Amino acid sequence: MSAVTPVAADATDSGAHDASASAPVTAPRPLGRRLLHGLLPWASVIALLLTWYLGAVTGVLSPNVLPGPDRVLSSGWGLLQQGLLLPALGVSLGRVLLGAALGIVVGVGCGLITGFSRVGEALIDKPFQMARTIPFTALVPLFILWFGLGELPKVLLVAVGVALPLYINTFGGVRDVDRKLVEAAKVYRLTPLQIATQVLLPGALPSLLVGLRYALGLAWVAVIIAETVNSDAGIGFLLINAQQYIQTDVVMFCVTLYAVLGLITDRMVRSLERVLLAWRNSFTGL
């Protein structure tokens, strides 16, 4: 007995040693590699800005057609000093936030209903499919006739832009959920509301978040269109005024500001994806 015990102990120690030796050890990446990884997504943007700047400096690009980025930034600084930029930015952000909130509620809610219920699909799906083929420019005069020239038609136009892609992606995500999960939920006697919120919505979350990225991008497209028609405030209002006075640098600044806001919105949704989908072990590229 005493002769066997040390052998068993040695075998155990050896097994533990082998297991620890075979366990993968993640070494921290070098600082240079981390910096390169952080700068790589911006490489194309930096190259585009440098090309733009060189074209303006060398005279290849006419300042009346496409002023350089330094002149565009200078015009933005001028708007800020005049007290015009921040109020316009606040108005545009408010319209996007209100419209996006309304569109998210409608798009996700209707997507869950139609994905969960065939009766709901029969009643709701066709109007959404027809509405998503109508361009924003066709809705603007109609919304003005219906709701006047105030804030309501602008907010509703953003809401439509957000709701439609969210509806499509939520519906598709719900229908991609494994049927066995729903059957298991019925076995445990979950109510239809519990099945929708605890089974279908989490299962549709990856598709829903992709739709949210696309939808919030469309929100900025919708607010641009809304603010360039019968508007007296917002970034689009500054853009139209600059167009009337042939201020190409201000027009370019407004367009660039819309692009930056859209990029910030997209990054926010990507960060939300990393938090909500941390459980998913999916392919992230080579």
Q: Return the residue matching tokens 């239809």.
A: 192
pLDDT bucket at 269, cuts 50 / 70 / 90: confident
Amino acid identity of residue 44, one-letter, is S
Average of per-residue pLDDT values in the chain: 81
- The tens digit of pLDDT for each residue in 56-104 reads 888 787 777 888 888 888 888 988 988 888 999 999 999 999 999 999 9
- The tens digit of pLDDT for each residue in 196-254 reads 888 888 888 888 888 898 898 889 888 888 887 777 788 888 988 888 888 888 899 99
Q: Using alpha carbons, list the distances in angstroms from residue 237 to 23, 54, 56, 161, 255.
A: 61, 30, 27, 20, 12
Q: Could you tell me the two tokens for 279?
A: 């459980």
What lies within 8 Å, CB to CB, of 211 at 6+ separation is: 107, 165, 166, 168, 169, 170, 173
Buried b (16+ CB within 10 A) or exposed e, 167-178: bbbbbbbbbebe
Domain residue limits, the chain: 86-276
- CA-to-CA distance for 31 and 221, rounded, in angstroms? 39
State the pLDDT at residue 163: 92
Q: Which of 24-33, 130-139, 160-169 has the highest mean pLDDT?
A: 160-169
- CA-to-CA distance for 131 and 129, rounded, in angstroms? 6
Residue of 225, 249, 245, 250 whose CA lies nearest to 236: 225
Residue 6 pLDDT > 70: no
Q: At the top level of CATH, which class does the domain 86-276 belong to?
A: mainly alpha
H helices of the chain, in order, are: 4-22, 31-39, 43-57, 69-81, 85-116, 118-131, 136-147, 152-175, 179-187, 192-195, 201-227, 235-244, 248-276
- CA-to-CA distance for 269 and 262, rounded, in angstroms? 11
Residue of 71, 77, 82 whose CA lies nearest to 248: 71
State the pLDDT at residue 36: 66
Residue 2 pLDDT > 60: no
CB 99 within 8 A of CB 158: yes
What lies within 8 Å, CB to CB, of 189 at 6+ separation is: none
Task: Report the percentage of the chain scoring pLDDT > 70.
Answer: 85
The pTM (predicted TM-score) of the whole model is: 0.76
